[in-house]
Amino acid sequence: MKPSIPQGTRDFSAAVLRKRNFILQTIRSVFETYGFEPLETPAMENTETLMGKYGEEGDKLIFKILNNGLNNPDKRETVIQDFNAVLEGKTNKGITERALRYDLTIPFARYVAMNQGQLTFPFKRYQMQPVWRADRPQRGRYREFWQCDADVAGSAALLHEVELSLIYTNVFNKLNVPVEIHINNRKILGALAAVCGGEDMMMDITIAIDKLDKIGMEKVKDELIGKGLSMEQVDAVESFISIAGSNEEKLQQLEDMFSHLPLGKEGINELQTILGSFNAIQGNGSSHTQLLVDLSLARGLNYYTGTIFEVKALGVQMGSIGGGGRYDDLTGLFGVKGIAGVGISFGVDRIYDVMEELTAFPESIQKGTTALFFNTGVEEQQHVLGVAEQLRSKGVSCEIYHEQAKFDKQFKYAERKNIPFVVIIGSKEIEAGTALVKELASGTQTEMKLEELLKGLGK
Amino acid sequence: MKPSIPQGTRDFSAAVLRKRNFILQTIRSVFETYGFEPLETPAMENTETLMGKYGEEGDKLIFKILNNGLNNPDKRETVIQDFNAVLEGKTNKGITERALRYDLTIPFARYVAMNQGQLTFPFKRYQMQPVWRADRPQRGRYREFWQCDADVAGSAALLHEVELSLIYTNVFNKLNVPVEIHINNRKILGALAAVCGGEDMMMDITIAIDKLDKIGMEKVKDELIGKGLSMEQVDAVESFISIAGSNEEKLQQLEDMFSHLPLGKEGINELQTILGSFNAIQGNGSSHTQLLVDLSLARGLNYYTGTIFEVKALGVQMGSIGGGGRYDDLTGLFGVKGIAGVGISFGVDRIYDVMEELTAFPESIQKGTTALFFNTGVEEQQHVLGVAEQLRSKGVSCEIYHEQAKFDKQFKYAERKNIPFVVIIGSKEIEAGTALVKELASGTQTEMKLEELLKGLGK
């Protein structure tokens, strides 16, 4: 049997993991300076917790787990009935009761609903865990991938939008990835819908606008006509998307268009407040991360009700590397009403790809073993083990070659593992209390006292 | 719908996560000083990678993932046939091709077999990931739990056994958990089997000995008789298990018993070598972690062929909190012969429980937000946001209360979140360039210059 792994999944070796963990650790440290606390939820949720939350397409992409003990002969008849239901496209408790986490938002909502009595609101949590989707694998799209979310539940204050924008700014500064943050507000899209055939049309208009980048204006217009919009209404959508200029100019044009509609006015005010506060902190200079009003930004997910965000890397061809927004009702689906919130997400895999392209990963993160002690014999090995233990207790990573072998072979091991120092302690050096230290990059070899070695490599 | 999570799974809130991550981070840092490199494998493996590797009982406890797209009408007939196979207790590609990771060893073996051409041997990897088992949940036994393994593949050197023992020692020292490490050798058990009816009996004898702790000597003897051992042979097993005294005394008795058998002699020599090297480093003093020869130690898994380990916490009633051993043939199951190895595992959940019982977690790890800035109005909020940003850029975690509210309410938030400092900056303080800082534990309130605040809390 030739071993393999499931399509769309990956093994992560040390070099890749160190890079990914650098991204995760950077995000984590910024989340924590803003008072977000970690949460982890199980990989499995009850199937009913997940089903129906991601649309019909989403339901199909959820990985369901087969119940154990199906081959109990007593239950055979029931199981066959249950299985027929599965064949009809329904999930069924007899066959599957558990499913793999599809995102981090629904498990978070489930957690808040389950524990609302114990939580302190506003509840600020971050969560960094893999999720699983039965999507067709393709370049950059995996069946197992990491998500990385921060959400505030139980507060309608716009301060959170400002802080989340600052989190994006700080994280991407630390990662050395220049970005711009696109911002819009669903209330403005709601006002547009009201102008174009009623608020019922909001989802259709939103979904069409969301495709603008991919399919272009003409096809967006075709789609809107297909949804029953009049030519006049389609023109209104087009002139809305075409609003251009600086943030201030865009906001001015929006006021002209929507200030007669309370919903529109509210959305415009929210944008103004967030931009004002963010710019007062960040400055308006072009050297800083920009918060850009982007009226074509819609975000496909239908639970957003206010601010929406998307982050784009500058100078790299890549979709959004982060996104999020405000929702009025996080936990309503689980029977708990009135918990509003706002959250953002980091696309870890895409950030990884962007950083590779920009060679933005610091070299220092690829630190493995610092020193390889050569093995020159059984007794020497015991002496060397003592020296290595002292270095290790100072946090210096070192290895002892596992057996006495030709120096060539031992050098090759150090080279292949990118170990910068080789230390040779033979019987002569033991007697003298010294060590031969060779730096592989320069080729320089130094004989030093053991105390020096312990001080020098311990730094 | 009342939200819940699947039986045997857990949500991890911040307080628990910080403790668990303290354990994982301690283990990780020690692994790395010994030159082990991280690896992560996917949560899903191909079903055939896992099935048949954990015995018949294990196969039943593997969580299988339902294939997506079962309700394709074209495939209906095939799917029904496949499903009948599942009902008969077989897995079937038509229904399930993927399963959840059951441990970290088989995925590691699969990884080494898949990538042998690229790896540098001896290949030292560590892996810390959750695994899933459909076991009946009970106190301390979960369906999702973390494993934490370090293995060396491609080397038969006993140096690794010594280093792995030192890793156990260092980790539990750092965690402040006193332990003893039990050690035995499968070759000695093999010699015992040779004396008691042939090496074929090794597994039966091993499994029976493994139960000694739980069922006692009499029942072990009953089981051995049931397996067909003669009374004489059962007596031999009993006198073997009863060997007592210091490590040296035990080894002496073993020599008397088995030195005529090459396998036995080899096992005894290996034990002696490991003990000698470990004690020369650790010292024999009672204040140090002891490596104890424990002849009743067998470990149930049948792939061990040499040294076996188990770690017990001292002063706490708890099964083993770590274990491992040497195997001759890691990757043979995947068609790659001749890769020997040795590995150890940490039982994270049990270590957690032991540390709770010993109150061994340092208080400092529960560090959340350091300062809460009170919200005294819209303009003040903007000023405070600037101050908070400066503190955050120094790595100080702080929050701004999300809305203007009674001080009582804001104090309560700080208390509930265990935030040590409250900072009040009203219009008066803005004008004076100062801040009122209240330390909640002592109740002391200090008015300080902003620069002082930035210096003081930045420490």
Tell me: the pLDDT tens digits for B378-420? Answer: 999 999 999 999 999 999 999 999 999 999 999 999 999 999 9
pLDDT of residue A92: 65
Contacts 24+ apart (CB under 8 A), A136-144: A137/A7, A137/A8, A140/A349, A140/A350, A140/A353, A141/A8, A142/A8, A142/A9, A142/A10, A142/A349, A143/A6, A143/A7, A143/A8, A143/A9, A143/B44, A144/A8, A144/A9, A144/A10, A144/B42, A144/B43, A144/B44
CB burial string A359-389: b at 16+ within 10 A, e below: ebbeeeeeebbbbbbbbbeeebbebbbebbb
**Six token digits for residue B74:** 């074209």
Q: What is the DSSP letter of A137?
A: P
Inspect the interface and report whether the beta carbons of A95 and B66 lie closer than 8 Å: yes
Inspect the interface and report whether the beta carbons of B98 and A14 lie closer than 8 Å: no
B44 → closest Cβ in A122, A144, A389: A144
CA dihedral A259, A263, A265, A266 (to 10 degrees): 180
Spatial CA neighbour of B390 closest among B441, B452, B340: B452
Spatial CA neighbour of A101 closest among A136, A30, A149: A149
For the ranges A13-27, A31-45, B130-144, the lowest mean pLDDT is seen at B130-144
Contacts 24+ apart (CB under 8 A), B311-314: B311/B168, B311/B172, B311/B179, B311/B180, B311/B181, B311/B182, B312/B179, B312/B180, B312/B182, B313/B177, B313/B178, B313/B179, B313/B354, B314/B178, B314/B179, B314/B180
Distance (Å, whole) CA B196 – CA B185:
17
Distance (Å, whole) CA B157 – CA A402:
6
Structural domains in chain A, CATH included, are 14-62+102-357 (3.30.930.10), 367-457 (3.40.50.800)
pLDDT(B84) > 80:
no
Give the closest-approach CA distance of B238 to chain A in angstroms.
36
pLDDT(B76) > 80:
no
* Maximum separation of any 2 CA atoms in chain A, in Å: 94
Find the residue in A nearest to B403 (Cα): A157
Give the closest-approach CA distance of A126 to chain B in angstroms.
10
Contact call for residues B161 and B274 (beta carbons, < 8 A): yes
- Residue B63: list chain A partners with CB under 8 A: 44, 65-66, 68, 98
- Residue B403: list chain A partners with CB under 8 A: 155, 157, 159
- Residue B124: list chain A partners with CB under 8 A: 399
Contact call for residues A441 and A415 (beta carbons, < 8 A): no
Cβ-based neighbours of B58, under 8 Å, separated by 6 or more:
B102
- Residue B166: list chain A partners with CB under 8 A: 389
A168 pLDDT band, cuts 50/70/90, is very high
- Residue A280: list chain B partners with CB under 8 A: 382, 386
pLDDT of residue B91: 60
**Six token digits for residue B170:** 């260092």
Inspect the interface and report whether the beta carbons of B5 and A281 lie closer than 8 Å: no
User: In whole angstroms, how far apart are CA A447 and each of A314, A392, A428, A431?
Assistant: 50, 21, 12, 13
pLDDT in tens, A15-34: 999 999 999 999 999 999 99
A385 → closest Cβ in B68, B155, B162: B162
Find the residue in B nearest to A121 (Cα): B413
Give the length of chain A: 459
The larger pLDDT score, comparing residue A393 to residue B301, is at A393
- Mean predicted confidence (pLDDT) in A413-425: 96
- Residue A48: list chain B partners with CB under 8 A: 1
Give the closest-approach CA distance of A264 to chain B in angstroms.
23
Q: What is the DSSP letter of B141?
A: B
pLDDT of residue B54: 87
φ/ψ region of A130 (left if φ > 0, alpha if ψ in -120 to 50, else beta) reads beta
- Residue B10: list chain A partners with CB under 8 A: 42
Give the closest-approach CA distance of A185 to chain B in angstroms.
20
Chain-centre distance for alpha carbon B279: 25
Contact call for residues A425 and A384 (beta carbons, < 8 A): yes
B300 pLDDT band, cuts 50/70/90, is confident
Cβ-based neighbours of A444, under 8 Å, separated by 6 or more:
A438
What 3-state class would DSSP assign to B151? Answer: strand
B285 pLDDT band, cuts 50/70/90, is low
pLDDT in tens, A233-265: 999 999 998 899 999 999 999 999 998 999 999
- Residue A277: list chain B partners with CB under 8 A: 382, 385
Q: Strand locations in B238-321, DSSP E? A: 290-293, 307-313
Inspect the interface and report whether the beta carbons of A87 and B70 lie closer than 8 Å: yes
pLDDT of residue A301: 66
pLDDT in tens, A49-86: 999 888 888 888 999 999 887 666 666 677 777 777 76
Q: What is the DSSP letter of B85?
A: H
Find the radius of gyration of the CA atoms of chain B: 29
- Mean predicted confidence (pLDDT) in B411-435: 96
- Residue A1: list chain B partners with CB under 8 A: 48, 334-335
Find the residue in A nearest to B21 (Cα): A38
- Mean predicted confidence (pLDDT) in B183-209: 87
Distance (Å, whole) CA B196 – CA B264:
13
B335 → closest Cβ in A1, A6, A159: A1
Contact call for residues B102 and B130 (beta carbons, < 8 A): no
Residue type at position A339: I
Write the ipTM: 0.92
pLDDT(B69) > 80:
no
A3 → closest Cβ in B110, B400, B402: B110
- Residue A43: list chain B partners with CB under 8 A: 9, 43, 100, 130, 132, 144
Inspect the interface and report whether the beta carbons of A11 and B35 lie closer than 8 Å: no
Q: DSSP assignment of B178-231, as one string?
A: -EEEEEEEHHHHHHHHHHTT-GGGHHHHHHHHHTHHHHHHHHHHHHHHHTT--H
Find the residue in B nearest to A119 (Cα): B416
Distance (Å, whole) CA A415 – CA A424:
15
B45 → closest Cβ in A6, A13, A33: A6
Give the closest-approach CA distance of B427 to chain A in angstroms.
18
- Residue A125: list chain B partners with CB under 8 A: 14
**Six token digits for residue B124:** 């030292």
pLDDT(A210) > 90:
no
- Residue A64: list chain B partners with CB under 8 A: 65-66
Give the closest-approach CA distance of A384 to chain B in angstroms.
10
pLDDT of residue B83: 72
The larger pLDDT score, comparing residue A137 to residue A202, is at A137
Inspect the interface and report whether the beta carbons of B35 and A1 lie closer than 8 Å: no
Inspect the interface and report whether the beta carbons of A64 and B69 lie closer than 8 Å: no
Chain-centre distance for alpha carbon B244: 31
Inspect the interface and report whether the beta carbons of A120 and B417 lie closer than 8 Å: yes
For the ranges A20-24, A194-198, B91-95, B326-330, the lowest mean pLDDT is seen at B91-95
Distance (Å, whole) CA A425 – CA A410:
13
**HEC letters along A91-135:** CCCCCCCEEECCCCHHHHHHHHHHHCCCCCCCEEEEEEEEEECCC
Find the residue in B nearest to A61 (Cα): B68
Contact call for residues A147 and A343 (beta carbons, < 8 A): no
Give the closest-approach CA distance of B201 to chain A in angstroms.
29
Inspect the interface and report whether the beta carbons of B43 and A144 lie closer than 8 Å: yes
What 3-state class would DSSP assign to A406? Answer: coil
pLDDT(A285) > 70:
no
- Mean predicted confidence (pLDDT) in A156-173: 97
pLDDT of residue B303: 82
Distance (Å, whole) CA A456 – CA A448:
10
Distance (Å, whole) CA A347 – CA A353:
10
- Mean predicted confidence (pLDDT) in B224-250: 91
Phi, psi of A210 (to 5 degrees): -55, -25
pLDDT(A279) > 90:
yes
Distance (Å, whole) CA A285 – CA A153:
32
Cβ-based neighbours of A253, under 8 Å, separated by 6 or more:
A243, A245
| DSSP element (H, E) containing B26 | helix B14-33
Cβ-based burial of A36 (10 A; exposed 0-12, middle 13-18, buried ≥19): buried
Distance (Å, whole) CA B284 – CA B205:
32
Cβ-based neighbours of B313, under 8 Å, separated by 6 or more:
B177, B178, B179, B321, B354
Across the beta sheet with A64-65, the strand order is: A44-46, A98-100, A64-65, B64-65, B98-100, B44-46
pTM of this structure: 0.93
pLDDT(B459) > 70:
no
pLDDT of residue A44: 97
A44 → closest Cβ in B2, B6, B277: B6
In chain A, the N- to C-terminal Cα span, in Å, equals 48
Distance (Å, whole) CA B242 – CA B231:
16
The residue of A25, A30, A34, A135 whose CB has the most chain B CBs within 10 angstroms, and thus the best one to mutate to test that interface, is A34
- Mean predicted confidence (pLDDT) in B359-372: 94
For the ranges A8-17, B88-97, B106-115, B366-375, the lowest mean pLDDT is seen at B88-97
Contact call for residues B401 and B388 (beta carbons, < 8 A): no
Chain-centre distance for alpha carbon A45: 20
**Percent residues over pLDDT 70 in chain B:** 94
Give the closest-approach CA distance of B368 to chain A in angstroms.
7
Distance (Å, whole) CA A165 – CA B410:
24
- Mean predicted confidence (pLDDT) in B152-178: 97
Per the listing, tokens 């895999």 go with A349
- Mean predicted confidence (pLDDT) in A107-120: 96
Per the listing, tokens 């609003």 go with A243
- Mean predicted confidence (pLDDT) in B214-241: 90
Beta bridge partners of B434: B449
Average pLDDT, chain A: 92
- Mean predicted confidence (pLDDT) in B21-45: 97
Across the beta sheet with B290-293, the strand order is: B37-38, B123-132, B144-153, B341-346, B322-327, B307-313, B179-185, B290-293
B42 → closest Cβ in A5, A110, A152: A5
Cβ-based neighbours of A354, under 8 Å, separated by 6 or more:
A177, A313, A316, A318, A321, A360
Give the closest-approach CA distance of B261 to chain A in angstroms.
25
The larger pLDDT score, comparing residue B227 to residue B170, is at B170
Residue type at position B327: Y
